Every structure is written in C-alpha cells, then in structure tokens.
Amino acid sequence: MFGFNLMEMVAGLPGLIMALALHEYAHARVAVAMGDFTPKMMGRLTLNPMAHIDPIGLVVLLIARFGWAKPVVINPHNFHDRKKGEILVALAGPAMNFLLAFLALGVMIFLTHTMRIEMSYGLRAVLWLIVVYNINFGIFNLIPLPPLDGSRILMAVLPYEMQYRFAALERYSMIIFIIFIATPILGYILVPIAQLLLGLFSGIWMLVL
C-alpha cells in the first residue's frame, strides 16, 4: 500500500499520521453529530494524534506497508437515524482522507503553478506523500471487506437477513489482507482509482487557481 525506503518513511511520516489520526477524528466528529457521544466520552473527539494512533499499527505500516489506527468505538443505537448515522460515520473517514489529499495537492499547485515558487525536495516530498497516502488510505478503507469502512456502508444498506452472512466474512479478513499485501491485487484496485482522483483534483485546482 505504501512505499518502503528510509527517505520516503521520513518524508511520509506527516502524511501517515494525518491519514490515520484525522480519519479516526472524522469518524468521531460525525458520530457525535449524529447523536452518539461515545467517542467524546472516550476522548476521541480531538485532533491530538496520540488519541488515535496505535503505535504498533504505525510501526507495522512503516515496515510492512499495512497498518491501522485505534478504531473509534460507536453505539449506533444512539444515532438519531441509525442507518443514516452508520453510513455517514463510515464515509467520514475516507472523505477526510480525500479532503486532505485535495488540500495538499492544492498547496503544491498553488506554489508551483500560481506563485512560480521552486519548492525544496523535502517540502515537495512531504506534500506529495500526504496526497498519495491519503488517497490510498481513503480508497483502501472503502473496500467492502470487514472491518473496513466500505463494509459498514454495505452492511447499512443490505437486507437484514444478508447482514449476518456478510459480517461472517470478517473471520477471513486477515487472510485476504495478507493476499492483498503479497500480490499485486491491491495495486490493481488502488492505482486506477487513485489516478482518476488525482486527475479530478488537479483539474479542479487548475480551474480554481
């Protein structure tokens, strides 16, 4: 999912922390807005990365290109509208990742094309990896495989009798994730969609700026 060399690890650390922490913060913020105060009571309604980062998950992400943050615990029974709440909370994380990628790309385009500023290699690498990591993280989390956000969206719209069968897939999730990492399958999913989003985001910024 992510590149692996020392320079990229250092330059990509801000992007990884932003991708993980703000993804979870978005889940918490929308859950509270929908009527469930569980994330707030558990200290997750904060922009402090320490509240969201799982140290082991971050290290594994840097080393093995696959990791995780501390999941935000919610109680869907508290939502004003359960189905709507579950869908919006699940969408909030990937939406935040896409927003971060869009904004970082906008900064790059503004500095290089509008202001004609020659960015340093370090700044360019940091901004570009914020774009890449957040787009990849957002797309990855929309895959409809438990416990990813995409599965929660799908669960919310499936007929009740099919939800149990779909949830049972979670027992095989780790095996599927390992297959994703060990084969080019994940690249076949991420790359075309990432290129499409990059083109869309770039086109919007070029029109605006």
Q: What is the pLDDT of residue 170?
A: 82
Tens digits of pLDDT across the chain (209 residues): 444 566 777 888 899 999 999 999 999 999 999 999 999 999 999 999 999 999 888 777 777 666 789 999 999 999 999 999 999 999 999 999 999 999 999 999 999 988 889 899 899 999 999 999 999 999 999 999 998 999 999 999 998 888 888 888 888 888 988 888 788 888 888 899 999 999 999 999 999 98
Domain ranges, ordered by start, for the chain:
6-208
Q: Which of 8, 24, 118, 170 is catalytic?
A: 24
How far is residue 138's CA from residue 198's CA, in Å, rounded to a whole number?
Answer: 13
Q: What is the pLDDT of residue 5?
A: 67
Q: What is the pLDDT of residue 55?
A: 87
The verdict on whether 8 is a catalytic residue reads no
Q: What residues have CB less than 8 Å from 65, skipping those under 6 apart? A: 1, 2, 3, 4, 181
Q: What is the pLDDT of residue 174?
A: 84
Q: What is the pLDDT of residue 2?
A: 47
Task: Give CA torsion, residues 83, 38, 140, 105, to 10 deg.
Answer: 110
pTM of the model: 0.92
Q: Are 85 and 76 in contact (CB under 8 A)?
A: yes
SS3 per residue for the chain: CCCCCHHHHHHHHHHHHHHHHHHHHHHHHHHHHCCCCHHHHCCCCCCCHHHCCCHHHHHHHHHHCCCCCCCCCCCHHHCCCHHHHHHHHHHHHHHHHHHHHHHHHHHHHHHHHHCCCCCCHHHHHHHHHHHHHHHHHHHHHCCCCCCCHHHHHHHHHCCHHHHHHHHHHHHHHHHHHHHHHHCCHHHHHHHHHHHHHHHHHHHHHHHHC
